[in-house]
Amino acid sequence: MSIIIQNVSKAFGDVDVLKDLSFEVKTGELIALLGPSGSGKTTLLRSIAGLEVIDSGNILFHGDDTKDKTVQERQVGFVFQHYALFKHMTVFENVAFGLRVRDKKSRPSESEIERKVHELLQLVQLDYLGKRYPSQLSGGQRQRIALARALAIEPQLLLLDEPFGALDAKVRKELRKWLRRLHDELHITSVFVTHDVEEALEVADRIVIMNEGRIEQIGTPEEVYHHCANAFVYQFIGNVNLFHGRVEDKVAHFGNVSVSLPETSEQETKDTVFYVRPHDLDIHHSAPDSTAFKAKIDHVHLAGPVVRVDLTSEWGDPVHVEITQDYYLSMTFQKGMDVFVSPKDGRLFMQDYSI
Amino acid sequence: MKRHAAITEPRWIRYLLIGISILFLISFLITPLILIFVKAFEGGIGLYLKAFVEPEALAAMRLTALVVCIAVPLNTIFGLCASWAITKFEFRGKGFLLTLIDLPFTVSPVISGLIFVLLFSDKSWLGGIFYNLGIQIIFSTPGIVMVTTFVTFPFVARELIPLMQSQGIEEEEAALTLGATGWQTFWRVSLPNIKWGLMYGIILCTARAVGEFGAVSVVSGHIRGLTNTMPLHIEILYNEYNFTAAFAVSSLMVFGALVTLLIKHYIEWRMKGEKRL
Amino acid sequence: MRKKVRRKTILPGFGLTLGITVTYLGLVVLIPLSMLFIKTAGMGFQPFIEIVTSPRSVSAYWLSFYTAAISALINAVFGFLVAWVMVRYSFFGKKVLNALIDIPFALPTAVAGIALTAAYSGQGWIGHLLGKIGITAVFNPIGIIIALTFIGMPFVIRTIEPVLEDMEKEMEEAASSLGASRIQTWIRVILPTVLPAWITGTTLSFARSLGEYGSVVFISGNMPFKTEIAPLLIMTQLEQYNYEGATAIACIMLLASFSLLLLINSLQAWSKVRGRG
């Protein structure tokens, strides 16, 4: 089922949570709503499910407006952040709930319900837990039962609110791989909310990046990672070094470093910020070119797959650099040493005065 | 062991405190309770049992049962409605509503009776209407039912509101996304989640409804065999110096109170167990 | 300005449940209670003042006030002690004793009244002992205090107990590791933590005692100017069909209760803030 979000807005009291949002989810897609907390992503998800009433705009399922459809009529599978399993029911009864509450005409027979529930429990690989109560399960198991329960109503749309938020790091990684595989098997149009960039990049077909009730960028993981639409996305997607400077006559000035920008259209003098990821910076003993600047090594973190070096630039800003173990060992950098840092890549964003 | 000893009181102080506490509880709580049974059986088991087969005693029990059967279900339905509205939704004046619900707790039992006498006395507007219809409210069963309902009004709501507040609305939302109707959500999800709290409230409400004395005393008119509930029956027996019978009926009520506490502790134990899971 | 401040929830039943709640609250509580004020307003200022300031009324308020205050203080002291002993120490029979503390909540007040009278009268088990040291409890303000102590007992204990249970032993351990003596720990750590709950419990106990009727009438003897508490005076007025007198005194009592309710609410808000720290 495809979803079209058209100019959706919503406010809680005086706070605008969703500001004129529009985008489309294609049939069979797995979409991540990514953003910091308070960005409105959960509210948007709940609005799609019908758990929140939007103030204006339209949400179309398959081209049909959902305005007059109640939660029950929307038949959306929703997995809650804290699972919301029914505490007083066994796992089996939890999964069977959506079938048992149907009206008499469409309610499947008891044997049909049993068959279906076992099928779903097998799908989430927890068939042996049917008689347990939610309180007897681990976090990861609860999460999968919540998913099985949502799938029981054969939804054409699956919505997941921070599906792995409450799990520890290891279970989280396993489960998101599993979710991706499950989606590839079932092909249900799915939208999940997350604040974890890595999770969104790994699992989703496309990512909708939200901030303060607005959409900052929509794109595939590759697109948002390599072609950040704006400074917010660049900063949100990964670690970053910021260099504040000025653009004058097509030349950018950062401290003592000047970079010519032949393709810029800016005519007047403007403040600018240069964004560089730590792994896009190199450290040298002598200046390799004119873009290099002097810095002093404050600290070297050796634990981990890459070596993280903290430095202070000659004009006093902190700089973080990631280099490979091999490179580090070949260059014999030491704490307190004066070195040169040069960017391999980076993005320049003009300071936005509208903020 | 040493570490433990460092943060408690010396042994003699502990024993002294325990001793004083027990003495306090014995003189104010335990002795009166035991005395009721002692006095009840003073005249032998025959006289004890006779107190219960008196027609007036039986009538009092019947009236008390009737009052409980009306007041408790009414307040239970109210309690469920009030806690649903208050805990599942946000609206203005919620705090004020909560205070109003607590009001009957702060009103003296005698005043609770008095306001119903004022409301339905034949001089009042409403009392006049009922008088003309030939329906007696005060000094009659309807009056007793009404004051008991007033006095026990907050019990169920009071138990349910904090409980439902702590549970939130996520499970209800989950039920709705799975296609359940409002009623199905209430019966299959909300109610099972609050069943122990609900029972707790009903137990407290019932205990108070059975035992209410002051308020009922004001509106009953003390008509023997007609408008006497069990506590009023005890008062009459006592004032007539029929001590054995008074204590015999009292012993039954003490027994009821002990059963109430037993159920209460069972429920508390179950609730604690469920919270731990 | 936005029109809807209320956050819309998709859960059903808001209108229905709030409607039932408000209607029922109005019928059972607000309309009857308002009668008291309507009646008071109708009687004129001069007669009202005359009734409420008559020597008999004033002596009844004063008696109600000081017996309730003394019993609340007794409960404050012994309630704290009992709660401490129940939470911190272990001894034989503790569980049963702890369960019995709720008896005053579950026992009909009339039964409590005759049981206490039996125990504290001149021939009673405890009254006999008190007589030897020259104390007459029954038909005396002391008897009233005893009855009110019984009635108000669970309030202090049950309000303090959870606070003591929640109070981490680690906090005390931290205090002693920082060099505080046991007495310093008591004064600087334990008491300030328990204080809000302690005051709340004592106030609750006082509020309950102020309006109490059933347990007092048997033990007090009901002599005007000597052992006639305010609720009893209301009752006497009613029995003489002096509705105006009863209403005026009730009005004063009710205002006192409402002020106490306000005080309790703000106290509870205070202890919540304290608890968060």
In tens, the pLDDT along A298-313 reads 999 988 888 999 999 8
- Give the model confidence (pLDDT) of C150-174 as tens digits: 999 999 999 999 888 887 777 777 7
Record the tokens describing residue C172, joined without a space.
């005390």
Chain A CB contacts of B179 below 8 Å: 72, 75, 98, 101-102, 153
**Amino acid found at B63:** L
Quote the pLDDT of residue A304. Answer: 82
Q: Does A113 touch chain B (CB under 8 A)?
A: no
How many Å apart are CA C152 and CA B104, to the nearest integer? Answer: 17
Kindly report which listed range (A274-283, B143-152, C76-85) carries the lowest average pLDDT score. Answer: A274-283
**Structural domain containing residue C226:** 58-276
Q: Does A82 touch chain B (CB under 8 A)?
A: yes
The nearest CA of chain A is from the CA of B194 a distance in Å of 10
**pLDDT at residue C7 above 60?**
no
Q: Which residue of A has its CA nearest to C4?
A: A13
Strand, helix or coil for residue C169? helix
Q: Which residue of C has its CA nearest to A70?
A: C10
* pLDDT band (50, 70, 90) for residue A262: low
Quote the pLDDT of residue B272. Answer: 79
Residue A12's alpha-carbon distances to A50, B95, B170, C8, C217, in angstroms, are: 16, 20, 19, 9, 56
**pLDDT at residue A355 above 70?**
no
**Would you say residue C64 lies in a domain?**
yes
Chain A CB contacts of B180 below 8 Å: 72, 97-98, 101
Q: Does A101 touch chain B (CB under 8 A)?
A: yes
Average of per-residue pLDDT values in chain A:
89
Q: Does A221 touch chain B (CB under 8 A)?
A: no
Q: With a CB-CB cutoff of 8 Å, which residues 122-181 of chain C face chain B?
A: 124-126, 146, 149-150, 153, 169, 172-173, 176
Q: Which are the contacts of B224, defined by CB distance < 8 A and separation ≥ 6? A: B56, B236
**pLDDT at residue A96 above 90?**
yes
**Would you say residue C35 lies in a domain?**
no
Contact B17 C85 (CB under 8 A): yes
Quote the pLDDT of residue C270. Answer: 78
pTM: 0.84
Determine the residue among C2, C6, C11 to mutate to test chain A binding: the one whose Cβ has the most chain A Cβ atoms within 10 Å: C2
Taking the mean position of all CA atoms in its chain, how far away is CA B236?
22
Q: Which residue has the higher pLDDT, B126 or A166?
A: B126
**Amino acid found at C189:** V
Chain B CB contacts of A12 below 8 Å: none
**Would you say residue C210 lies in a domain?**
yes
* pLDDT band (50, 70, 90) for residue A260: confident
**pLDDT at residue C3 above 50?**
no
**pLDDT at residue A191 above 90?**
yes
Quote the pLDDT of residue B177. Answer: 93
Quote the pLDDT of residue A268. Answer: 67
Determine the residue among B39, B70, B115, B263 to mutate to test chain C binding: the one whose Cβ has the most chain C Cβ atoms within 10 Å: B115
The nearest CA of chain A is from the CA of B270 a distance in Å of 13
Q: Which residue of C has its CA nearest to A54?
A: C8
Quote the pLDDT of residue A39. Answer: 92
Q: Are A143 and A164 in contact (CB under 8 A)?
A: yes
Q: Does A349 touch chain B (CB under 8 A)?
A: no
The nearest CA of chain B is from the CA of C211 a distance in Å of 4
Contact B231 C110 (CB under 8 A): yes
Q: Which are the contacts of C246, defined by CB distance < 8 A and separation ≥ 6? A: B114, C234, C235, C237, C238
Phi/psi class of residue B215: alpha, beta or left (left: φ > 0; alpha: ψ in -120 to 50)?
alpha
Phi/psi class of residue A167: alpha, beta or left (left: φ > 0; alpha: ψ in -120 to 50)?
beta
Q: Which are the contacts of B44, defined by CB distance < 8 A and separation ≥ 6? A: none
Chain B CB contacts of C182 below 8 Å: 7, 9
Q: Which residue of B has its CA nearest to C30?
A: B100
**Would you say residue C50 lies in a domain?**
no
Contact C35 B119 (CB under 8 A): yes
**Would you say residue C23 lies in a domain?**
no
**Would you say residue C145 lies in a domain?**
yes
Among C2, C5, C10, the residue with its CB nearest the CB of A51 is C10
How crowded is the C-beta side of C132, counted as CA atoms within 13 Å? 5
Q: Does A13 touch chain C (CB under 8 A)?
A: yes
Domain count for chain C, please give it: 1
The nearest CA of chain A is from the CA of C272 a distance in Å of 26
**pLDDT at residue C117 above 80?**
yes
Neighbours of B38 (CB within 10 A): 14
Quote the pLDDT of residue C8. Answer: 57
Quote the pLDDT of residue A263. Answer: 65
Quote the pLDDT of residue A108. Answer: 92
How many contacts (CB atoms, under 8 Å) link A and B? 67
Quote the pLDDT of residue A217. Answer: 95
Residue A123's alpha-carbon distances to A14, A152, A182, A186, A273, in angstroms, are: 44, 11, 9, 10, 50
DSSP H/E element including C49: helix C45-52
Quote the pLDDT of residue B73. Answer: 97
Average of per-residue pLDDT values in chain C:
87
The nearest CA of chain B is from the CA of A150 a distance in Å of 7
Q: What CATH code is carried by the domain that includes residue C144?
A: 1.10.3720.10
**Would you say residue C13 lies in a domain?**
no
Q: What are the average pLDDT values for consecutive 10-residue runs of chain B, which has 277 residues?
A: 55 91 92 92 88 90 96 96 93 90 90 92 82 85 94 94 90 94 93 92 94 91 78 92 92 93 89 66
Q: Which residue has the higher pLDDT, C4 or B175?
A: B175
The nearest CA of chain A is from the CA of C8 a distance in Å of 7
**Would you say residue C236 lies in a domain?**
yes
- Give the model confidence (pLDDT) of A105-129 as tens digits: 889 999 999 999 999 999 998 999 9
Q: Does B271 touch chain A (CB under 8 A)?
A: no
